[in-house]
Structure 1
């Protein structure tokens, strides 16, 4: 079988251009450099300022353009999966997409987990995958796969660009493609968008005679101001919600995980306006901030585990916003009271009711809808209704405080961290048990924090990288709480080259395996429970941190953790990254957690 002609032509052109460059300083860009610079310019004009890259050759034009453009901060990564989750963290922390650049082949496929999470969590994200010429697809050409529509239904928009065309018309088409993926990433719902960028050799910035017409500038039209604003609600959405609330005597607001801090703020304002209890997920934006102590039921996950409490607190209207809550107890409560009218606020027409309890959606932008409802005169809410919620919530919280103060278990880690972080801290909360412990064992407080997480697909992969991305986006010291398996799953994040200015305090719960599985019936079946479900590990995290040049500290009490969290950032090579390891014995944790929950349930029952 003869050599593929497309591959041969690609290699021959590259060889000619490299030879031409030997005795010449590049005086003008070739078409690849022009194309990449124009693409990067188009992104910068639209407000994109963070980009991540892995190693590779086919992506060299894009990486060179990003590195040369002072409107971008470019973060190199050892592996593409980590780079993608870092970009996802930037999007979660800023509400603006970051770009992640890969070379061709499996490097592009490594973005898939982050793309799935971006889609499910509705986080803006831009995948820029460099590709070989289309003529090589379906052949035995090296490092060549079909990258068109690589992410399938999880991408809001996927565009396969033709090879660079150094003409005004070609740049106009490129500009239209950049505009399309940018709008898709920031659309409703927000999410990932994919631009597949073909390049033939030469990939390096060498001068190619006659490749680019004189006077053709690598500039694309467009600006950030051109993005469509999130739509106002239909005229009747806010009005209908206001009418529903005016007629309700026992209204309840449930605020689930979402990517818009404004949702939590306006949900709190509405709760205060109509005097309704607010059940708020840690990632809702309504758990930590002004008004939360009075209106947010921070211990609902505990009190609603008591069957008598869940039965007695019978709403006559439920207003839901955001994704389904993390708390299984809250979800069971919503299912128990499915006969009460439940309305889900949403602007995306996505299915938000896997519990099948909603009467129907209220379609419109949630922030604008809640604001409009809060501006209307409230109805006559039953004062006993809010007081009963407060009584059960307060009792549950008081019941667990002795355990939080006197026992060292994962709930105490979550509580100590929440109580010690400075106001306004971006706080990334990892999946598996950390988010559940924060939900159950931290109180609602008026002290503002900025919780962040990835509850779309809820995996433990990429959580550390995402936390670093969120820290980069915030521009201020950030914190993260993750489990040991979560760290080991993303240990490559510790090895990435971080520029000065990224400050992250990573607190790792070290319980030598998957502690969450102790909550499931499989724990009674050993084997296979311990070796194949818990996945016990004995990795020395101090040695891992030392290998990455990261300061490490062990803590074994809530007091030590508070001291570590409140301590000033130590000298760390200018990278502002430190790791605190909270060592917890897995079986002891299970016993203490169970006892604390039972105490909370019993205390809440006594208030009914």
Structure 2
């Protein structure tokens, strides 16, 4: 029987998955859940060394002779400190030790708790990886713990070998051993460029898959090599390619999923589109497909392409990390496929039809209307910067012309710096450089207009709806008092500051005035940069977006709706279903 402590269950199960058998155990109370579990399991070879300093050196020698990782385990407090000398030696000799330090309730640190010191990161400068496990109370904790243990084990031999540290806190001194079998765990596999056998197995998996979904994260540049490789991959494998503007992807098989996969557009539709494999590359993804995939985690494999080999489990379903550039991955898979291999188009067509079923009304005057009109007329080869939240959302409603490069600071997703970022980029190009920015984001970064190097190619569209409309959109606005501290409602204009800094200033309050202003705004021959401020009301702006989603829901056929509902009931847990019904 195994311990009831879930964190140790995960560790033991993953030790087996990684075929790590040799454990050096030092007597103590806090590590009894681990010690008794493994000493009863014939898979492991256990060695008893009472003194922790000696135990760590013993493990070092054992690992050197076996040429494989060895675990050391101890109780809390100074017991862990006694590992220090051998860990330093292991670090400088590249010996792969797994240091398991049992710990007490984190909430009692520095509260005169018995036998407790700060063990988090205590070996940081002399280990390849250091993780502090969560106390597992729910599924999120479980997934997080599993990821951290995988990360530590994968670090043992990543770009050299060396020790790793796993700290295991626990609320109570648990001596219950009522678990007959270990849980199913996911062993994450890292595949480097030269591991041909693993690539071959991955290719065979792809070849046999009926539904491959490629999610393209943020990328700052157009990459013709990647676009060509993706196009070829699309023709050879049963895949669909999900993009958003910040992906800067222009290839065959690309589907812009920002609207159709927004959870407010149709919260249960993704049940019809669950893939066999998700392949991700690039940086952050801002749109709803990330949330949809998380809802259905564990129902598919996630392969992450990471040039640095980092563990990025964006969808809580990670199974493989390919340490290479995205273009290298797709080119390699393409060369392994023969000329007769073709995409049957079934999955692509299903997702493409759904995305193309989005209906666009004649929007009333609003931020949405203004952005739509600008994007439809934005010249090819322009640069587009989007500020945050609403600006990004609305821009992704509408299709861009070819070769418009798109940017947004979604790495951190903060309100600050979007204006400064656009100005920095505009200085280094002669193409028209557009920024779509809300009022709060502009006033936050307004001092950037004083930068002396601004040329005549900057075009700023400011959506002034008198506050943070995002809080109307997401339901944070509760009553008029919310306008004080949440939406920060105001009646400020940008006009004076813009003119002071020698921009051409334009404004619009309705469709007619916007149409006239837009003609000037898009003039490439302007001697000065241009600032266009449009005025709307944030509640109305929010309502227009919600009405857009609501209108589109009625276009989903009833039979499809019922089929989706039936599928959902067999897949999603009951708490999620209740949230969807709300």
TM-score (norm 1): 0.55
Which residue number corresponds to residue 579 of structure 2? none
Identify the residue that residue 252 of structure 1 maps to in structure 2. 213
Provide Cα deviations, 1:526-579, integer angstroms capped at 9, x if missing partner.
42x11001112222211121111110111333745653553334232xxxx211
The 2-side partners of 1:303 and 1:448 are apart by: 29
How many pairs were matched up?
364
- The reply on whether 1:578 has 2:530 as its aligned counterpart is yes
From 360, 364, 373, the counterpart of 1:416? 373
Structure-1 residue corresponding to 2:478: 524
Larger C-alpha radius of gyration, 1 or 2? 2
Cα distance between partner residues in 1 of 2:282 and 2:411:
11
Aligned equivalents of 1:542 and 1:309: distance in 2?
44
Q: Which of 529, 539, 543 is residue 587 of structure 1 equivalent to?
A: 539
Q: 1:427, 1:449 within 8 Å by CA — same for their partners in 2? A: yes
1:453 maps to: 408
Q: Does 1:540 align with 2:497?
A: no
Which residues of 2 match residues 224-303 of structure 1 at below 5 A?
233-234=193-194, 236=196, 242-262=203-223, 263=226, 266-274=229-237, 276-286=239-249, 289=250, 291=252, 295-297=255-257, 299-302=259-262
Q: Deviations over 1:88-112 (max 9, x none)?
A: xxxxxxxxxxxxxxxxxxxxxxxxx
The Cα of 1:596 is off from its aligned counterpart by 0.2
CA contact (8 A) 1:392 1:603 kept: no
| Distance in 2 of aligned mates of 1:520 and 1:332 | 17
Q: Distance in 1 between matches of 2:302 and 2:404?
A: 29
Alignment of 1:5-154 (within 5 A): none
Partner-residue secondary structure (3-state), 2:428: helix
Change (3 A) 1:330 1:264: farther
What SS is found at the alignment partner of 1:521? coil
Structure 2 CA distance for aligned equivalents of residues 581 and 285 of structure 1:
27
* Aligned pairs (5 A) from 1:123-522: 233-234=193-194, 236=196, 242-262=203-223, 263=226, 266-274=229-237, 276-286=239-249, 289=250, 291=252, 295-297=255-257, 299-302=259-262, 305-377=265-337, 379=341, 381-396=343-358, 399=359, 401-402=360-361, 405-439=362-396, 441-443=397-399, 447-498=402-453, 501=455, 503-522=457-476
Deviation at 1:524, TM superposition (A): 2.0
Say whether the 8 Å CA contact 2:294–2:316 is kept in structure 1.
no
Structure 1's 456 and 377: CA in aligned 2 closer, same or farther, altered over 3 A?
same
What stretches of structure 1 move > 6 A for 4+ residues in a row?
A: none
Distance 2:228 2:441 in 1: 30
CA contact (8 A) 1:430 1:453 kept: yes
Q: Deviations over 1:115-139 (max 9, x none)?
A: xxxxxxxxxxxxxxxxxxxxxxxxx
Whether the 8 Å contact between 1:250 and 1:317 is mirrored in structure 2 is yes
State the distance in 1 between where 2:369 and 2:559 align. 25
310-319 or 414-423, which moves further after superposition? Answer: 414-423
Matched residue SS, 1:603: coil
Which segments of 5 or more consecutive residues in structure 2 lack a partner in the other structure? 1-124, 126-158, 160-190, 561-582
Deviations along 1:11-36, one digit per CA (max 9) or x if unpaired, are: xxxxxxxxxxxxxxxxxxxxxxxxxx
Q: For residues 531 and 433 of structure 1, what CA distance do their matches in structure 2 show?
A: 20
For residues 213 and 367 of structure 2, what CA distance do their matches in structure 1 show?
A: 30
CA contact (8 A) 2:467 2:488 kept: yes
1:563 aligned residue (493, 510, 519):
519
- Distance in 2 separating the partners of 1:354 and 1:240: 23
Contact 1:427/1:452 (CA < 8 Å) preserved in 2?
A: yes
Q: Distance in 1 between matches of 2:516 and 2:333?
A: 45
The answer to whether the 8 Å contact 1:468/1:502 transfers is no
More moved, 370-379 vs 541-550: 370-379
* Secondary structure of residue in 1 paired with 2:220: coil
Is the Cα contact below 8 Å between 1:299 and 1:393 reproduced in 2? yes
The answer to whether the Cα contact below 8 Å between 2:297 and 2:315 also exists between their aligned partners in 1 is no
In structure 2, the residue corresponding to 1:539 is in which secondary structure? coil
RMSD over aligned CA atoms reads 3.0
- Aligned counterparts of 1:607 and 1:421: Cα–Cα separation in 2: 40
Q: Distance in 2 between matches of 1:564 and 1:246?
A: 53
TM-score (norm 2): 0.57
* Separation in 1, partners of 2:429, 2:294: 35
Shift of 1:238: 6.1
Structure with more of its chain in helix, by fraction: 1
Closer, same or farther: CA 241–552 of 1 in aligned 2, 3 Å: farther
Change beyond 3 A, Cα 1:303–1:433:
closer
CA distance in structure 2 between the aligned counterparts of 1:268 and 1:468, rounded to whole angstroms:
33
Give the match's secondary structure for 2:416.
coil
